Amino acid sequence: MKKAYVVGHVAVKDSEKWDEYRQAVPLTLEAVHAKLVCRGKLAKVLSGEHHHQDIVIIEFPDLKAVDAWYESEEYQALIPLRLQAADIVLLSYEEDA
């Protein structure tokens, strides 16, 4: 089974709401056995253009788990808060090996 990852590129609009969202997301990951791998701040753009300052990477057992998490009632309930807190591009990836 190939692991899957969700990568979020983040531009925070409201830091208080962003903190609230960040604190709530880990609980939504438990049911699908996902784990937060990285939260980070952009250090430097080495090539090309990039307009987001933060990143988040979450590891999932597989792509089905990604879909189950994203479509879950618990995560869907957080989307309005996410939209108020930040501009986010969420991408899912599957391991290539």
What per-residue confidence (pLDDT) applies to 89?
96
Q: Residue 4: pLDDT above 80?
A: yes
pLDDT at 74: 97
31-71 confidence digits (pLDDT tens):
999 999 999 999 999 999 998 999 999 999 999 999 999 99
Q: List the strands of the sheet with 54-60, edge to edge.
A: 35-41, 54-60, 4-12, 86-94
pLDDT band per the 50, 70, 90 thresholds, residue 1: confident
Q: What's the mean pLDDT in 16-32?
A: 96
The domain limits of the chain are: 4-94
Asked if 4 and 60 count as a contact pair (C-beta separation under 8 A), the reply is yes
Q: How far apart are CA 20 and CA 42, in angstroms?
A: 21
Cα–Cα distance list, 25 to 17, 49, 91 (Å): 12, 28, 16
Q: Tell me, what's the pLDDT at 77?
A: 98
The share of the chain scoring above pLDDT 70, in percent, equals: 100
Residue 29 has pLDDT above 80, yes or no: yes
Please choose, from the candidates 61, 77, 63, the residue with its C-alpha nearest in 3D space to the C-alpha of residue 28.
77
pLDDT at 97 exceeding the cut of 80? no
CATH 3.30.70.100 is the classification of domain 4-94:
yes
